Amino acid sequence: MKSKPAAGGLVYSTDAGRMCPACRQPIAQCVCGQNKPPPASDGVVRVSRETKGRGGKAVTVVKGLVLDAPALAALGKQLKAACGSGGTVKDGVIEVQGDHCDRLVDLLKAQGRVVKRAGG
Tell me: do 55 and 92 sit in the same domain: yes
Tell me: do 74 and 25 sit in the same domain: no
2 assigned to some structural domain: no
Residues 80, 72: Cα–Cα separation, whole Å = 12
Tell me: do 48 and 60 sit in the same domain: yes
Residue 5 has pLDDT above 50, yes or no: no
Percentage of residues in the chain having pLDDT higher than 90: 32
Tell me: do 72 and 106 sit in the same domain: yes
pLDDT digits (tens, 9 = 90+) for 66-114: 888 888 899 999 999 999 999 999 888 999 999 999 999 999 999 888 8
4 assigned to some structural domain: no
Residues 31, 8: Cα–Cα separation, whole Å = 17
- Domain span at residue 26 reads 9-36
Average pLDDT over the chain reads 80
Residue 59 has pLDDT above 60, yes or no: yes
Tell me: do 65 and 92 sit in the same domain: yes
For residue 30, the model assigns a pLDDT of 75
Residues 6, 91: Cα–Cα separation, whole Å = 26
Q: Kindly give the interhelix angle for 69-83 and 101-110, rounded to the nearest 10 degrees.
A: 120
Find the CATH number of the domain harbouring 64: 3.30.780.10
